[in-house]
Amino acid sequence: MKYVITILLILISYFLSYGQQMPHYSQYMHNGFVLNPAIAGTDNCIQIGLDVRKQWLGFADSPFTQSFFIHSALGKKSGLGLIIFNDVAGAESMLGSELAYSYMVKKTKNESLSLGISVKVMQYVFNESSFVTNIPDDPGLTYGLVSAIQPDVAFGAYYKNKTMNYGIGIQQLLSSTLYKTSISFLERHYFLTAGYVIAQNRQVTLEPSILLKGMENTTISFDLNLKVIFQNKFILGASYRNHDGIILLLGINTGKLLIAYNYDLITSRLFKYNKGSHEIFLGYKICRNKSKKDSFGKRGVHCPAYNL
């Protein structure tokens, strides 16, 4: 009984934190589009991806997330993208879709600067009957099945050249009340990214990057990442996520197909209750201009860290 109560308290704290409101990813290093709509269509290829994540293995009803995306350039200065995602965590589930548009403020052979906006629609379902409290008629609970359909907006800006990139994504701009009968709110989320490419030689490339993330009324957290790419094909990587854990990454990149896997080793107080998190990413590219290398390769504008 004590073990069940402990897990319940941890899950409740999770629902009231960052993870409740947005799906949690570690593969954003290969798919920054999920954080920043300005990345849509920033190369010469159609990008398609599927991400599946199981968090906190060993927990009953632990978070389980799936997402599908596709984005591409639209003409010479625009991009268009779509994300469909499903996130289930205990009593709460979220199903949504997001349509993104980006515009190239500046685009040359060696660099680009884009602004992006997206509109999303999310359906939230929360089964409050699964919770037991010591407060009669708790105003935050209806003790039934609560659902809501919520529209929202995101904004982003993204700059890249051959060796570096910078980006900012702001999610849930409307910052609205989630349920009419609930005290839950959708808070704005902020993501700042920066990445750099260090070509040691033709055999080894290093890609350090950082992600700063914050939500209103909370402290800022960060990820420190390093990818090592061998022969422009084999990927090894590691990340440190403060207050959370260490992420180990491996993958293979054929130029069109990217397969990547990461294991999240939890170092926080949740360590004793779970066996870590697993995430698999599959990405595929369809390149219209075969005479140019896409962002997997060496020519054109390489997109370090936050793209396929």
Specify whether the CB–CB gap between 105 and 115 falls below 8 A: yes
Pairing relation of β-strands 45-54 and 64-74? antiparallel
The reported pLDDT for the residue numbered 41 is: 93
Condensed to tens digits (0 to 9), the pLDDT of residues 240-273 reads 999 888 999 999 999 899 999 999 998 877 666 6
Burial class (CB in 10 A: 0-12, 13-18, 19+), 288: exposed
CA 158 to CA 165: how far, in whole Å? 7
- pLDDT over 50 (residue 298): no
CA angle 208, 214, 215 (to 5 degrees): 160
CA 224/CA 239 separation, integer angstroms = 5
Q: What is the pLDDT of residue 276?
A: 83
Predicted confidence at residue 287, as pLDDT, reads 87
Radius of gyration (C-alpha) of the chain in whole angstroms? 20
Which pLDDT does position 32 carry in this prediction? 92
Span 27-77, pLDDT tens digits: 999 989 999 999 999 988 999 999 999 987 777 778 899 999 999 999 889
Q: What is the pLDDT of residue 12?
A: 39
The answer on pLDDT for 180 being more than 50 is: yes
Residue 55, Cβ density class (10 Å: 0-12 exposed, 13-18 middle, ≥19 buried): buried
Q: Which has the minimum average pLDDT: 5-9, 190-194, 223-227? A: 5-9
pTM: 0.82
Q: For residue 140, what pLDDT band results from cuts at 50, 70 and 90? A: low
- Mean per-residue pLDDT for 268-288? 84
- Ordered by where they begin, the domains of the chain are 2-287 (2.40.160.40)
Q: Rounded to an integer, what is the distance from CA 42 to the centroid of its chain?
A: 18
